[in-house]
Every structure is written in C-alpha cells, then in structure tokens.
C-alpha cells in the first residue's frame, strides 16, 4: 500500500529550492539527460543542476502548476505540469534559452531543444497535459510513492474537462513497465542520439469512460 504519511500538495515558487534538489537527484542518472548533457565530459553534474534550475525557475515564473508529494513536510516527489494551452511556452522563452546557453553551453542547449521538439512533434493532435519533469527522490523509490503521485496527478488533470489526458516521455527502460501498469500506453518513440525516448499517454477518465461505452 502507498505510504499513508505522504501528503499531496500543489506547489508554488516557495518550493523552488526543494524542487531543484529533488529533480536533480531524480534525473542525474537518467539516460536521456546523460546524453543531452554529455555525462562523459567534466562538469556534467553542474550542467544537470543548471538545466533543472532553469526549468523549475521558468515553470514558476510562468505560474504553471506543479504537484508535490511530501513526508513530514519534506518534498520527496513531484511533477511539473504544462496545461494543454501552454505546453510550448518555456523553451520559446529567449531569456530561458540565453540562461541555458550560458550555463550548459551551445551544444547541450541545442541537444535539449532538439529533444523537446522531437517529443512535441510525436504527440497526437488534441489538448493534453504534458509532464516536462517528474520524479521521486531515489531514497524513496520502491515504496509505491510514484503510484500515489501519479494517481493524484491524474485526478487533478481530470478536473480540466477539455483535456484528453496526460502525456509524458522517458528514455529509461526501467520505467516502461511501471508506466504501463499505471494505465499508460506507448504512442511513439523518438531517437535521441543513442537513446530511444518512449512517449506515453494516459487518457482522462472522461475519455476512458466514453471509449468503453
């Protein structure tokens, strides 16, 4: 059973520092990030930290939603959410691009933008919520907290009657079966250098009911 002590909470910019730390630990060993930010080259951890910092900062600056999972007021899991109407805003910001160039370099910024565009073009037409970043702190994985976070996220996104569901992507084969168990279906694959990025879709409850009727 999920940890009964874990609390779901909508996050604001006051959680930015905790969010950066959590997502850094969640993504520093991610295969896609390892390719995008050149794990084989010195300074990789700094580039991951900088990327997470800029994504989290821009997310809250644009007042986009984020949902968190907390235990004893410690943020241990979270998801950044891009609503259907605004899922492209962050990477279109020239100030964000400039900060990325200064902190991660031209090649890594270019790789990230190409990755983002490839995933976006893989999405089906229609209004969806997109999850740019999603993670549970490694210390808390294997305790069904990811399931609890996704259930709360799906319920929150379902309140938007115009949304057809939730889309996310991963290049980590370790998570493929996990997402499928949570009701996600693979809708596409994108080659990101040597990494195969899998794009998943979870239908909204309204869409699932309509399909089964």
SS3 assignment, position 137: coil
Q: Please check whether residue 30 lies inside any domain of the structure.
A: yes
98-111 confidence digits (pLDDT tens): 999 999 999 999 99
C-alpha closest to that of 35 among 197, 146, 205, 160? 197
Q: How far is CA 190 from the centre of its chain?
A: 16
Q: Please check whether residue 2 lies inside any domain of the structure.
A: no
Euclidean distance between CA atoms 22 and 138, whole angstroms: 9
Q: Please check whether residue 1 lies inside any domain of the structure.
A: no
104-157 confidence digits (pLDDT tens): 999 999 999 999 999 888 887 888 999 999 999 999 988 889 999 999 999 999
Per-residue pLDDT band at 212 (split at 50, 70, 90):
very low
Q: Which of 17-31, 43-57, 125-139 has the lowest mean pLDDT?
A: 125-139
Q: Please check whether residue 208 lies inside any domain of the structure.
A: yes
Domain that holds residue 13: 7-212
* Contacts of the segment 88-91: beta carbons below 8 A, 24+ positions apart: 88/120, 89/62, 89/64, 90/55, 90/58, 90/59, 90/62, 90/132, 91/116
pTM for the full predicted model:
0.89
CATH number at residue 102: 3.40.630.30
Domain count for the chain: 1
């Amino acid at each position: 059973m999920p940890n009964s002590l874990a609390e779901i909470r909508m996050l604001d910019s006051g959680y930015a520092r905790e969010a950066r730390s959590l997502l850094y630990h969640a993504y520093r060993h991610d295969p896609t990030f390892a390719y995008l930010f050149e794990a084989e080259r010195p300074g990789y951890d700094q580039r991951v930290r900088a990327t997470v910092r800029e994504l989290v900062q821009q997310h809250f600056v644009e007042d986009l939603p984020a949902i968190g999972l907390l235990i004893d007021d410690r943020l241990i899991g979270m998801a950044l959410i891009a609503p259907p109407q605004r899922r492209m805003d962050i990477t279109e910001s020239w100030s964000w691009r400039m900060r990325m160039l200064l902190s991660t370099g031209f090649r890594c910024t270019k790789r990230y933008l190409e990755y983002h565009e490839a995933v976006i073009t893989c999405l089906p037409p229609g209004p969806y919520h997109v999850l740019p970043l999603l993670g549970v702190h490694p210390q808390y994985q294997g305790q069904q907290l990811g399931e609890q976070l996704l259930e709360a996220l799906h319920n929150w996104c379902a309140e938007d009657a115009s949304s057809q569901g939730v889309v996310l992507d991963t290049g980590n084969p370790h998570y493929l079966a996990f997402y499928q168990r949570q009701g996600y279906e693979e809708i596409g694959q994108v080659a990101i250098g040597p990494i195969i990025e899998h794009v998943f879709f979870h239908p909204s409850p309204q869409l699932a009911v309509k399909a089964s009727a």
